[in-house]
Structure 1
Amino acid sequence: MNQLATRQQPGAVAPQRMPNEYDVLRRSLTNRTDDFKMALPAHITPEKFQRTIMTAAQSNPDLLKADRGSLITSCMKAAQDGLLPDGREAAIVTFNTRKKDPGGQWITVVQAQYMPMAFGLRKKILQSGEISSLETNVVYRREAEEGAFIFEAGTEAMLRHRPMLELSDEDLADENIVAAYSVATMKDGTKSFEVMRRSEINKVRQASQTGAVNKTTRDGKAIPPKGPWVDWFGEMARKTVMRRHSKTLPMSGDLIDVEATDESIAARSAAHVLSVQPDAPQLAGPTQQEIDAAEAGADPQTGELPTDEDDDQVQQGPADDQRGEAHTTVDAADDLIAEINSKELLADLDAFMRDTDLALLDDDQAARVEEAADRRSAALRKGK
């Protein structure tokens, strides 16, 4: 009886199921199968790559809210590098940014950004065929003071570390880490190494969005650091030195330079870099805590941990001597004005202003920046 009652009447039109966000993303990826196939290495099929992206989107629904163009571009960059955005080899992070809509109103836009992880970097380096091993480690204060760690630069550079197994829990505290290093052994037996002091590592940490210390909101409220820089400082230090070292090592293919991209973004919007973001970015795939624990346990020597956003993210941003540790909105306004005055084309100036979030500045500073932009625009129109 019920079956008869619910049976579709002859001539009736079946209701159309609206495609959900996952279906839309799946179709977008499927439509680009040929593009992915051309970019991916032979051992990664487009289908496997697309499944990884869909799994990441299921784990982190914020990816579905991201600007579709930025998401597809991030996927293509991962394909070009031959890395799976699975949260281990690479990740796609989302972050909120503010832009002006065509009506001139500030709106919040979710952007996606590709980010190779330390494990992915190590994979690319070892795939070059020129390197047989890559190791990283940290140095504790007692080891340095008692001669267990020796580092010499110059024409006869040398690195020697004899880890002290008798260090106490207090000696092994994060605050007692004084350096980190990376050592690569080439196929011919020669070695290459990179050493970073604690102060250099701290500069990278300060460029992090959630791990930086002594940051405050615009109203002066302290922002406590959090994320892997707090929970896994040693692993983050290892990852940081390996990232720096990787810039001088042969790789399998040309890895997208996220650090350079990060600096380009910073140059386009000093306010974005020098101010606290309203929403911290999130890693695609597993949660931050799950990735931290999984990667730390999987390969503690390489420090395959996600960055905290500009994390991270993973990302080694500009050093503090370029960006400063205690910037004010005045500094940000001055930096923006200097960047405005350096523009030689109206198109570049317009693009810069579209990407600059003046809402992060005080009203008087925002007015100064807008006046500078108007003056520069007028000068360019006159051909000066």
Structure 2
Amino acid sequence: MSQISNAIATRDNGPEAIVRQHKDDLTLVLPSHVKGETWMRLAYGALRSNAQLLQVATRNPGSLMTALQECARLGHEPASKSFYFVPFGNEIQGIEGYRGVVERIYRAGAVKVVHAEVVYVNDEFVWAPGTIDTHQPPRWEGPQTVPFHKADWFSDRGDVKGAFSYGIFQDGTPSRVVIINRAYIDKVRKESKGSNSPTSPWVKWFDQMVLKTVAHRLEPWVPTSTEWRKEQMRAAHEVAAEQAGPVVIAPQGAEPDYRDDDEGPIEGEFVEDEGGAA
């Protein structure tokens, strides 16, 4: 077979062709703010511009599709600063970046400011909720509602000590403050697949991964666009069910089942799902 024929065969059976075949499935889960055609062109472009990504996707197209589906579900552009495609050995991992987490919080509309900072050993950090703190800036007079963080941005700030995050709602009130220490950061990194690999984000962009980890911990306390879409879909499903037909009544004496498999974690229960996608 000639080189041209080989190239055509590769093109017609390669990862790009597989992505094209599943175009409808991918665009179906995209949120309304994302244009399907534009999103697909970005997906093709990501494969064409990264030889290593294309090589791994050729060997394991299933991992590529999984990463693309997660990217589409979250409403991010493929291979952007919001959502990365990272080759790990013989598979591709889709990793949401810190910017992606913050974007989803802003999209929901309830939060006007997301504040997240890494705290280093040489920084000054004070967090004593409910107490009067003279460190507090004038806009937070009275009981301390958010942490005070002071850093010399132009000096050696030392090693990473931890991180904190909170949101400011549209009415100006702060959300719950989330704080993580170094032990928790190291735990998340340890559980992340391939975290010690030279290509791992934990090696290349450690500070950004710390920010993303603390932003993920903030998610249970502020609305995100994925939660909003989930509630919209649930409401539509309930309306459709009400219009579908008669209600089935449980037999006398049967115990009611109040479980809802679509519900997320109960308030106060943190589900640690950072891992490689922290």
TM-score, normalised by the number of residues in structure 1: 0.49
Q: Report the CA distance shift for 1:22/1:118 in structure 2 as closer, same or farther (over 3 A).
A: farther
Distance 1:68 1:62 in 2: 10
For 1:35, the aligned partner's letter is D
Q: Secondary structure at the match of 1:178?
A: strand
Q: Is the 8 A contact 1:118 1:314 kept in 2?
A: no
| Counterpart in the other structure of 2:185 | 201
The match for 1:61 is 54
Q: Measure, in 2, the Cα distance between the counterparts of 1:180 and 1:15.
A: 54
Instruction: Give the superposition deviation at 1:207.
Output: 2.4
Q: State the SS of the aligned residue for 1:17.
A: helix
Structure 1: state its 5+ residue gaps.
1-13, 97-109, 213-223, 256-309, 316-384
Rounded to whole Å, the distance in 2 between the matches of 1:225 and 1:92 is 15
Point out the structure with max Rg over C-alpha. Answer: 1
Cα distance change, pair 87–16 in 1 and its aligned pair in 2 (3 A) = closer
Q: CA deviation at 1:225?
A: 7.6
Q: What secondary structure, in the 3-state scheme, does the structure 1 residue paired with 2:189 have?
A: helix
The residue number in structure 1 matching 2:241 is none
Q: In structure 2, how many angstroms separate the alpha carbons of the residues matched to 1:205 and 1:189?
A: 34
Which of 73, 78, 85 pairs up with 1:92?
85
- The within-5 A match list for 1:1-384 is 17-18=5-6, 19-24=8-13, 25-58=15-48, 59=50, 60-96=53-89, 110-143=90-123, 148-153=124-129, 158-165=145-152, 168-169=155-156, 172-173=157-158, 175=159, 177-192=160-175, 193-211=177-195, 228-230=201-203, 232-254=205-227, 313-315=276-278
Percentage identity across paired residues of the two chains: 26
TM-score (normalised: structure 2): 0.65
RMSD (CA atoms): 3.4
Instruction: State whether residues 180 and 195 of structure 1, in contact with CA within 8 Å, keep that contact through their aligned partners in structure 2.
Output: yes
Contact 1:92 1:112 in 2 (8 A): yes
- Size of the aligned set, in residue pairs, is 217
Moved over 4 A (4+): 153-157, 209-212, 224-228
The verdict on how the C-alpha distance between 1:31 and 1:132 changes in structure 2, with shifts beyond 3 A counting, is same
C-alpha distance in structure 2 between counterparts of 1:112 and 1:227, whole Å: 12
* Structure 2 CA distance for aligned equivalents of residues 118 and 166 of structure 1: 21
Q: Distance in 2 between matches of 1:30 and 1:163?
A: 50
CA distance in 2, matches of 1:22, 1:253: 34
CA contact (8 A) 2:213 2:274 kept: no
Relative to structure 1, is the Cα distance of residues 20 and 133 closer, same or farther in structure 2, using a 3 angstrom cutoff?
farther
Where 1:313 maps in the other structure, the secondary structure is helix
Asked if the contact 2:121/2:161 (under 8 Å) is kept, the reply is: yes
The answer to whether the 8 Å contact 1:22/1:64 transfers is no
Q: 1:125 to 1:160 in 2, by over 3 A?
A: same
CA offset at residue 197 of structure 1? 1.2
Kept in 2, the 8 Å contact 1:138–1:237? The answer is: yes
Give the Cα separation in 2 of the matches to 1:225 and 1:35.
33
